[in-house]
Chain A
């Protein structure tokens, strides 16, 4: 049986599109369960049992992750709450180096005897693997932090908000869309709390509490006479925040042809606008293919940054560790070594940042106990750095990890995952409205849509949610059937303007997949609105 069947079987059925993205981790727990945390003294005891057992079996390094992962998914369509799913997963993952090789094993049997057996299994696997090694694992040095903790700076724990309040919000969103002329709407709320405890033979005992939230919807409008339909998805972003994200604030709204949101999201307003816009989309002009200047809103641009900058600067891809699945990278080491590889125009400054408050990637320490950091990837258009972890840092001459290690749960082995990767705002004062004034023939795109990129991250194609035609400095109406195709280096070199800091916003992915077996991670990407000149736009309308 496949995961899809199991989700249906267990009454956890989600919309087909979302289903594919949602990892099923853990066990359903009742709505009424208090959101307790495991006592840190107990976690330390269990972690020490694992560390000692692994050392006694011959491990030269061990790290232990004790995780309690809580999810709540609320799923509605039209006037119905389809499902409320609470899941909890608690267990331990033990990673060791023995015979120079990695080994990993995990269990949800949390007694000391089972933990010791699991540690022994991890060591046995490492020793079995050692015969297939070419060089032993080399770890960048990392000092132990002793006993420390980190908590996400949330204002209101979304798990403490009564389920009824959350379901009622979604139903009112659905009602607003249906009253606005939509035929169908599915609305969803995904909440995540990772309670992670990390301990290592380096002497770290790190307790962390991480929160994420993603409210979203899809509105559909149908023209029964022609049999045509259009959809419009929410312009929200998944965030590393509490329920405060869903408490609207006028100062966090950017008004324009559509309202866009900074650090607070007005889901009702977005649904009302979405219902009106999906109607406009039905009547919109089909785009004339050709070259356009694109004005890309942060609610759209985050995904282009993710795919064309985030993934190719992952050092494990550059080195070939993902060659069989996610792929490699065009940003080969020689380009970085040259110190003059022209990734983008001089305006383009892109940073990696695991510390940004409210972002999906923000933590105090990564999943191999390295304190998180912020660093440059692209400086004035030139490739200057990658993203890496302890066993690969030495390859780019670093004597420390950049803290990019992550596992989706206690049962999965940690590996290199993307930090938040964000385009820095332009230095001079510039608003999106001023930017549009100078565009002769262009398209303003908001919201993320279809996305696809090759395995070395050269050639990409992106769609969006809303496309507005710009003629002689004015938005003149809506377009449809739009997608743009470009090459990463050409695209970032065509970046001719970036709005200032006042326009800066975060977008992000809740379910970024990588690895075999595949694991999900959540990551944010910030930017201000940016202009890209002369990008190739295709028309995606077909007849079947």
Chain B
């Protein structure tokens, strides 16, 4: 099944709804064409292509819901999947939290999530680009392992209450780890964009090469509290966990970092440094994201944290109705405001500190305080008097993003980066943080 245009998707979903005999019916379709090339030990290892789509039909009788999905699109299959969802709905237990499907929604102008050049990437492009990365690795007597992936995707939703929404997007992502031949140095770089013209695989590989060569002979320094400069890719893996925990229901139920004694929440309270402002904006040209949520709710520009104050949390439609709140969906991508300083300028203004390229294996230790643990990786350097002095051995940290965002020293210029843990993109600044807690040393390189 190829990628459907809005008109084609609309026609298909309309046809599916015509088979419905339920009280309410909603149809979603999601399709993706993806390709990848993976390499290691300075040579290709695996690569492949994957093309898939799924049509999901949700039928409801009263507050009983049934869902069935299919990936065949002839008339008989479409009718079959509608009947299956209806059978399931009849068998399903009553769900007191069921919400009627949404009626028609106003979606603002399409955001530039789709790029035709990215959609046109083929196996030859991937092989040619990876060849450049491999030659930089070999020129520098390094060993490369990397991954180049691209996809084009679309989604559409329609229901018997008059809702229709459509979105299409592209993404290309590249990440590479270069290691010295003797395994004593390692460097990393990662980039992802909707628009392939912004991706410079050679430049990204050169950054990783510089970090790999520069991290040879790392010295051990005592764990403890340090001023750190987190590059955007390092900061993101902590911030995305905080954003993922800003759900209203957990806060109201008393089981989130936003819960307060007496059944209250911290909504409206100042929790962080006043330079911290985090928002989402589907139309940001650097980070265009979907204008509709999976359940059809429109995304809008939302300020989640404003000058350190917790401004908004996100809701399921059920929980919003129960609490008479606006049913804001969770963001599809987030942006943190920053300043004008470059990473180099942040380093220059640092008397003593540690530059962190990447944080790895992030796991929650305590949901109450959002304490996370994990390690530095692939380029950790000691800074003294405004200069990188020497590479240091990697650390394990135990830190909460809430504490970290209270300890802001400076924020640099936001840039688009991508999480090595979730593969989600964000627009965030490099940040200088005081008293970041490293709890032990690691021998890992």
Which residues on A are within 8 Å of B, measured CB to CB? 1-2, 4-6, 8-12, 16, 20, 27-32, 80-85, 87, 101-106, 108, 121, 125, 128-129, 131-135, 163, 167, 183-184, 220, 222, 224-229, 231, 319-325, 327-328, 330, 332, 411, 413, 415, 450-459, 461, 463, 481, 483, 485, 487, 516-517, 536, 538, 540-544
Flag if A10 contacts B84 (CB, 8 Å): no
- Seed contacts A12-B67, A125-B48, A450-B363; 8 additional CB < 8 Å A-B pairs: A11-B56, A32-B91, A229-B259, A320-B179, A324-B177, A455-B375, A458-B443, A542-B403
A9 pairs with B157, CB closer than 8 A: yes
Distance in angstroms from A282 CB to nearest chain B CB is 12
Chain A residues in 8 Å Cβ range of B360: 327, 454-455
Residues of B within 8 A of A328 (CB): 179, 183
Residues of A within 8 A of B2 (CB): none
Indicate whether B244 reaches chain A with its CB closer than 8 angstroms. Answer: yes
Known contacts A102-B46, A413-B46, A458 near B87 by CB under 8 Å:
no
Cβ–Cβ < 8 Å partners of B294 in chain A: 1, 4-6, 8-9
Stretch at the interface among B228-236, B247-255, B320-328, B345-353: B247-255
Q: Chain B residues near A536: list those with CB within 8 A.
A: 440
Report if B65 contacts A (CB, 8 A). yes
Contact B88 A5 (CB under 8 A): no
**A residues in contact with B47, CB < 8 Å:** 103-104, 125, 129
B396: A residues at CB distance < 8 A: 452, 454, 459, 461, 485
B 71-110 to A, binary, CB cutoff 8 A, 1 in contact else 0: 1000000000000100110011101110000000000000
Q: What chain A residues lie within 8 Å of B373 (beta carbons)?
A: 450, 452, 461, 483
Closest 6 CB pairs of A and B: A5-B294, A9-B294, A459-B442, A227-B261, A323-B145, A454-B444
Which chain A residues border B362 with CB–CB below 8 Å?
Answer: 452
Contacting residues, chain B, for A541 (C-beta < 8 A): 366, 369
- Min CB distance B249 to A, Å, is 10
Within 8 Å of chain A (Cβ to Cβ): is B130?
A: yes
**How distant is the Cα of A321 from the Cα of B45 in the complex, in angstroms?**
8
- The answer on a CB contact under 8 Å between B40 and A324 is yes
With A16-B244, A85-B67 already in contact, the answer to whether A456 and B48 are too (CB < 8 A) is: no
Tell me whether B49 and A323 are in contact (CB under 8 A): no
Complex interface residues of chain B between 9 and 63 (CB less than 8 A to chain A): 28, 30, 36-50, 52, 54, 56, 58
Q: Is A452 within 8 A of B40, CB to CB? A: no
* B365 within 8 Å of A (CB atoms): yes
**B124 interface contact, C-beta 8 A:** yes
- For residue A168, give the distance in angstroms from its CB to the closest CB of chain B: 10
* 20 A/B residue pairs, CB under 8 Å, sorted by A: A1-B290, A2-B332, A6-B54, A9-B28, A125-B47, A129-B47, A167-B93, A225-B262, A229-B368, A321-B40, A321-B45, A323-B143, A327-B360, A451-B363, A453-B361, A454-B360, A458-B443, A461-B440, A517-B149, A544-B400
Is there an interface contact between B369 and A543, defined as CB atoms closer than 8 Å?
yes
**A324-B146, A456-B443 given as contacts; is B255 within 8 A of A229 (CB)?**
yes
Residue of B nearest to A222 (CB): B254
B365 to chain A: closest CB distance in Å?
Answer: 5
Is B115 at the interface (CB under 8 A from chain A)?
no
What residues of B have a CB within 8 angstroms of the CB of A320 in the complex? 40-41, 143, 145, 179
Q: Complex Cα distance A183/B97, Å?
A: 18
Query: Which of A80, A455, A461 has a CB less than 8 Å from the CB of B444?
Result: A455
Give the distance to chain B from A323, nearest Cβ to Cβ, in Å. Answer: 4
Question: Is B337 on the interface with A (CB-CB < 8 A)?
Answer: no
Q: Is B408 an interface residue (CB 8 A)?
A: no
Contact size range, B: 35 or more
B167 interfacial contact with A, CB 8 Å: yes
A133–B402 CA distance with the chains assembled, in angstroms: 47
Q: Which residue of A lies closest to B41 (CB)?
A: A320
User: Shortest beta-carbon distance, A61 to chain B, in Å?
Assistant: 15
Provided the pairs A129-B44, A544-B400 are in contact, do residues A6 and B30 lie with their beta carbons within 8 angstroms?
yes
Decide yes or no whether B118 CB sits under 8 A from chain A: no
Cross-chain contact B145 with A542 (CB below 8 angstroms): no
Q: Chain A residues with Cβ under 8 A from B67's Cβ?
A: 10-12, 28, 83, 85
**Smallest beta-carbon distance B376→chain A, Å:** 9
- Min CB distance, B298 to chain A, in Å? 14
**B368, chain A: closest CB distance, angstroms:** 6
Cα-based distance from A540 to B179 in the complex (angstroms): 34
Contacts of A105 in B (CB 8 A): 48-49
CB interface residues, B 240-273, toward A, < 8 Å: 244, 247, 253-255, 257, 259-264, 271
**Taking CB as reference atom, which chain A residue is nearest B130?**
A132
Bound form: Cα–Cα A171–B167 in Å: 39
Complex CA–CA separation, A184 to B249 (angstroms): 12
The reply to whether A28 and B95 form a contact with Cβ atoms under 8 Å apart is no
Q: Which of A10, A84, A324, A542 has the most CB of B within 10 A?
A: A324
B175-224 contacts to A (CB < 8 Å): 175-177, 179, 183, 186, 188
A183 touches B48 (CB 8 A): no
B127 touches A129 (CB 8 A): yes
Per the bound structure, the CA–CA distance linking A167 and B95 in Å amounts to 14
Residues of B within 8 A of A413 (CB): 46, 48
Chain A residue at minimal CB-CB distance from B257: A544
Q: Is B238 an interface residue (CB 8 A)?
A: no
Contact A227 B260 (CB under 8 A): yes
Q: How far is the CB of A330 from chain B (nearest CB, A)?
A: 7
Task: Specify which chain B residues have a CB less than 8 angstroms from the CB of A453 in the assembled complex.
Answer: 361
Task: Kindly state whether residue B69 has any CB partner on chain A within 8 Å.
Answer: yes
Q: Say how far B192's CB is from chain A's closest CB, in angstroms.
A: 13
Which residues of the other chain, A, contact B153 by a CB distance below 8 angstroms? Answer: 1
Residues A128 and B127 in contact, CB atoms below 8 Å apart? yes
Question: Could you tell me the distance in whole angstroms from the C-beta of B91 to the nearest C-beta in chain A?
Answer: 6
B149: which A residues are within 8 A, CB to CB? 516-517
**Across-interface contacts of B70 in A (CB, < 8 A):** 27
B398 within 8 A of A: yes
Contacts of A132 in B (CB 8 A): 39, 43-44, 127, 130-131, 134
Given the complex, which residues of A lie within 8 Å of B366, measured CB to CB?
A: 481, 540-542
Judged by a CB distance under 8 angstroms, whether B155 is at the interface is yes
Q: Is B364 an interface residue (CB 8 A)?
A: yes
The complex places the Cα of A125 from the Cα of B295 at a distance, in Å, of 38
Q: Are A454 and B84 in contact (CB under 8 A)?
A: no
A543, B400: Cα distance in complex, Å: 10
Cβ A458 vs Cβ B261 within 8 A: no
Contact check, B361 vs A452: say whether CB atoms are below 8 A apart. yes
Q: Is the CB of A5 within 8 A of B293?
A: yes
Complex partner residue of A229 from B176, B177, B254, CB under 8 angstroms: B254
Q: Is B361 in contact with A8, judged by CB distance below 8 angstroms? A: no
A325 to B45, CA, bound (A): 14
Question: Which of A32, A80, A104 is in CB contact (< 8 Å) with B97?
Answer: A80
| Cross-chain contact of A224 among B58, B145, B254, B365 (Cβ < 8 A) | B254
